[in-house]
């Protein structure tokens, strides 16, 4: 039996939680600038206008990305899953579309506090999973 600490990390990503990616540098995710451009290009069309300063997705770029997500969610989410898997081969990646869901209220506040306290934490949830915050509390990006 494998010990709990040796289990692959689990990634669940809903569109309402994409903003947490602003807390992750591309280096933390094991991604390069070109990888992010390829991902966004595959999911969202040309991204030459996105400002990718250094190795970090700028807030301006994130704002532009979130604007595009509203219309392009179905193609973006599977590509995000693919890229996370490519960067973290041992990760268990589970992606929920949740384009019309609402992650606000208590969960939104709790996830905001969690991300602020631990910048590398990816707090994500499907709108239909009532206990997701408790289940994923403490899940972090795998070390690179």
pLDDT digit string, tens, across residues 71-104: 444 455 555 555 555 555 555 444 443 333 344 4
- Domain range summary for the chain, segments of one domain joined by +: 4-136
pTM over 0.85: no
Burial of 40 from C-beta contacts in 10 A (0-12 / 13-18 / 19+): buried
Higher pLDDT, 92 or 141: 92
pLDDT digit string, tens, across residues 114-130: 445 444 333 333 333 33
What distance in Å separates the CA atoms of residue 18 and residue 139, rounded to the nearest whole number? Answer: 16
Cβ-based neighbour number of residue 22 at 10 Å: 18
């Amino acid at each position: 039996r494998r010990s709990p600490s040796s289990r692959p990390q689990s990634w669940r990503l809903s569109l309402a939680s994409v903003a947490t990616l602003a807390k992750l540098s591309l280096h933390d995710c094991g991604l390069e600038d070109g990888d992010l451009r390829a991902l966004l290009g595959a999911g969202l069309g040309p991204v030459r206008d996105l400002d990718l300063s250094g190795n970090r997705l700028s807030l301006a770029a994130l704002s532009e990305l979130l604007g595009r997500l509203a219309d392009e969610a179905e193609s973006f989410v599977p590509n995000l899953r693919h890229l996370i898997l490519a960067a973290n081969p041992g990760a268990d990646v589970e992606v929920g579309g949740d384009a019309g869901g609402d992650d606000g209220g208590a969960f939104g506040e709790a996830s905001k506090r969690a991300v602020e306290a631990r910048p590398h934490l990816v707090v994500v949830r499907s709108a239909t999973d009532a206990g997701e915050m408790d289940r994923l509390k403490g899940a972090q990006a795998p070390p690179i």
